């Protein structure tokens, strides 16, 4: 697909993003690319200041930037309020979404007679759909997927290869689940019996809301009782584990390798950055942010940003980090402190000796 930059600018304005061209609005754009790899006919973007050094040398025909970015000589810019959101829209405009093959219901799929499949489904070979499953319209299910008995799934489902959805789980509309992810496996539920562990049956389910996307190789445990919930609009990266009975609110962002233990309540629009670990039975409030590699061991208040192990409010943790950086110098001072104290004590003793009254042994002593 090819569009002039002026046409793309108009498109962004139609989507509610204020935008303006500086340079050649007639240049034709064929694709989106990075600043480093872009060529003539490509459009790129700058949303992170760390990549500013690549701007002057890019070969892109145009670059999406914010209103404050300085313009290199000869480079055409498309200025707008939100460069990252703008390039996302432009990628869809220029490239479209991933195209999925139209296979209908492949004869090699195993679909139980009691299962209900909506209109316009594309179910590939080696898919297994168990009894009493209900799937909405326009499902796209790739090879190796399994949907267990009694599951209910909404419209526009996309399951990439080898996704497993255990019995009884509920999946909303427009949900995407990437390869290798498991929904509804048993949680870590064991009761101690002497020195052994007695398994606790996990009889709950997982419920996933609308417009959720879950990355590859994730695991979402079914609840012991009740539901594990991933609410509408939440996005999850790869290699994420969600414990049994945890409830993740609307429009959260969970980054790769995050792990959330059981019975956690995560509010709305919460961000858990990469490799975050969260202990069980705590609450993370709405709009909170947990920085990368943080270990959350207690409740996090709404709107708070925390980091560190254990996770603490960001200002407090930054002060601690700054103090830690000074410890080597402080230690060197402390090592020399005993010698300095001893020297001061010796000087003080000498001074006391010099000011002591002299002995009176002469004739005047009898006066």
Give catalytic residue positions: 244
Residue 136 DSSP SS3: coil
Residue 90's contacts (CB-CB under 8 Å, 6 or more residues apart) are 8, 11, 12, 32, 43, 64
Question: Residue 266 in contact with residue 249, Cβ under 8 Å?
Answer: yes
C-alpha span between 126 and 112 (Å, rounded): 13
Strands (E), 251-353: 253-254, 259-260, 265-266, 271-272, 277-278, 283-284, 289-290, 295-296, 305-307, 312-313
Pairing of strands 205-208, 213-214: unpaired
User: Residue holding tokens 């019975």?
Assistant: 263
Q: Which two tokens stand for residue 317?
A: 């943790």
User: Which helix (H) or strand (E) covers residue 325, if one does?
Assistant: helix 314-355
């Amino acid at each position: 697909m090819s569009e002039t930059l002026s046409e793309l600018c108009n498109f962004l304005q139609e989507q509610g993003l204020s935008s303006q061209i500086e340079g050649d609005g007639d240049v034709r754009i064929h694709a989106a690319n990075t600043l480093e790899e872009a060529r003539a006919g490509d459009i790129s973007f700058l949303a992170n200041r760390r990549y500013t050094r690549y701007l002057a040398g890019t070969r892109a025909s145009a670059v999406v930037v914010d209103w404050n970015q300085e313009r290199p000589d000869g480079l055409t810019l498309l200025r707008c309020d939100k460069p990252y959101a703008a390039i996302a829209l432009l990628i869809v405009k220029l490239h479209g979404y991933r195209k999925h093959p139209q296979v209908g219901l492949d004869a090699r799929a195993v679909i139980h007679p009691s299962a209900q499949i909506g209109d316009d489904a594309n179910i590939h070979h080696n898919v297994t759909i168990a009894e009493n499953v209900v799937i909405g319209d326009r499902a796209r299910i790739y090879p190796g997927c399994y949907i267990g008995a009694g599951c209910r799934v909404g419209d526009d489902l996309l399951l990439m290869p080898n996704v497993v959805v255990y019995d009884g789980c509920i999946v909303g509309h427009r949900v995407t689940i990437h390869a290798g992810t498991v929904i509804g496996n048993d949680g870590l539920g064991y009761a101690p019996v002497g020195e052994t562990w007695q398994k606790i049956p996990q009889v709950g389910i997982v419920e996933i809301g609308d417009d959720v996307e879950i990355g590859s190789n994730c695991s979402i445990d079914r609840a012991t009782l009740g539901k594990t919930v991933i609410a509408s609009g939440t996005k999850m990266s790869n290699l994420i584990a969600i414990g049994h009975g945890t409830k993740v609110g609307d429009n959260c962002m969970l980054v790769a390798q995050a792990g959330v233990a059981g019975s956690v309540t995560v509010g709305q629009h919460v961000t858990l950055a990469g490799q975050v670990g969260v202990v069980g039975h705590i609450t993370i409030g709405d709009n909170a942010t947990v920085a990368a590699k943080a270990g959350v061991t207690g409740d996090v208040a709404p709107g708070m940003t925390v980091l560190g192990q254990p996770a603490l409010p960001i200002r407090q943790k930054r002060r601690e980090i700054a103090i830690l950086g000074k410890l080597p110098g402080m230690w060197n001072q402390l090592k020399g402190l005993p010698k300095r104290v001893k020297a001061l004590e010796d000087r003080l003793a000498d001074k006391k000796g010099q000011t002591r009254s002299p002995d009176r042994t002469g004739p005047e002593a009898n006066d």
